[in-house]
Amino acid sequence: MRLTNFFADRWAKNSSQNAPRSSFLYSKKLAPYIFISPFIISLLVLYLYPLYSAIQMSFQQVLPGQVFYVGLENYERVFNPVFFRALQNTSIYVLATVLILTVFPLILALILNHKATRFSNFFRAAIFIPALTSVVVAGTIFRLVFGESDQALANQVLGLVGFSSVDWRYGAGSAMFLMVAMASWRWMGVNIIYFLAALQTVNQDLTEAASMDGANGLQRFRHVTLPAIKPIIVFLVTISIINGFRMFEESYVLWENNSPGYIGLTVVRYIYQEGIQNNNMGFGAAVGIILLLIIFIVSIVQLLLTGAFKKED
């Protein structure tokens, strides 16, 4: 009996000592922070620290083995004709890709989601394949298809319908068409998948009730489907704007060297050109900070216009 009491006392004592530790590990208040800690650590290491370094570098002149603080000199040099041409090209690219990668994927998703569409699963898998293609491979294919010679596939098609050949990579309009077409070809399938997932969440009871009340297909889409998928539309528009402003790959694979007359120059390509090729890291960092502010302002304005910050009743 005494031996039993002895072990019981020891167990109670150990339990009381371990209670704070157990309550700490199994705390409901602490658990959320433990789960999000990998994201916070990666954010600090991979985003905030590089951002701090870029801001600091934008006030410096960085030379091999030497660093000089030059104040606002780099920012004073940012707003030059070449930067404005790059910003113009990037803005046109953003507007075109946002429209194309929002409207056409929505239309195609509605078609694939319709009950009358056959082999919809096959098409859903097929349209996603371009997203798996490397940018280098896609750029090589586009350079072959839209070559300058009469033997290029695109020029042969134009010849069949009575048009003359086009120097696709050496005209301002055709160059922008190539960049937008490549981005649209690669990401169309991804956005269709997003819209298909959003369409699955539409309340079918509301759709059937609207149909019974005499609403046609366009009215059901406007008043039932569109409000239900509005969050995914706002999301896709936002990421399309961000990805459009940070576009670099399409410009680089189409013009490995500088494009003639800056017809294919984007802001990120300008950062690469000044910071890496011309070894002017301070000036490149200043352009990057300006681009960051532009993306932030445009994204906030877009979210305000789409009512993303409004509380739902």
Cβ atoms of residues 186 and 133 within 8 Å: yes
What kind of architecture, by CATH, is found in domain 79-305?
A: Orthogonal Bundle (1.10)
Cβ atoms of residues 104 and 188 within 8 Å: yes
**63 pLDDT exceeds 70?**
yes
**Which of 18-22, 137-141, 290-294 is predicted most confidently?**
290-294
Listed residue (233, 235, 263) closest to 93, CA to CA: 263
CA 92 vs CA 97, 116, 179, 180, 265: distances in Å: 9, 37, 11, 9, 12
| Alpha-carbon gap, residue 226 to 219, rounded angstroms | 10
Read off the pLDDT band of 312 (50, 70, 90).
Answer: low
> What percent of the chain lies above the pLDDT cut of 70?
89
Phi/psi for 268 (5° steps) reads -65, -40
As a residue count, the chain comes to 313
**287 pLDDT exceeds 70?**
yes
Query: 287: how many CB neighbours lie within 10 A of its CB?
Result: 27
* Span 263-278, average pLDDT: 89
55: DSSP letter: H
What ranges do the domains of the chain cover? Answer: 2-57, 79-305
CA-atom Rg of the chain in angstroms: 28
pLDDT at residue 82, as a whole number: 92
12/55: higher pLDDT? 55
Helix (H) or strand (E) holding 60: strand 60-63
Cross-strand pairs, 66: 63
Read off the pLDDT band of 14 (50, 70, 90).
Answer: low
Token representation of residue 237: 């528009």
pLDDT at residue 175, as a whole number: 87
Handedness of CA 148, 150, 156, 162 (dihedral sign): positive
141-152: pLDDT as tens digits: 888 888 877 778
Burial category of 141 from C-beta neighbours within 10 Å (exposed 0-12, middle 13-18, buried 19 and up): middle
pLDDT at residue 19, as a whole number: 47
Read off the pLDDT band of 101 (50, 70, 90).
Answer: very high
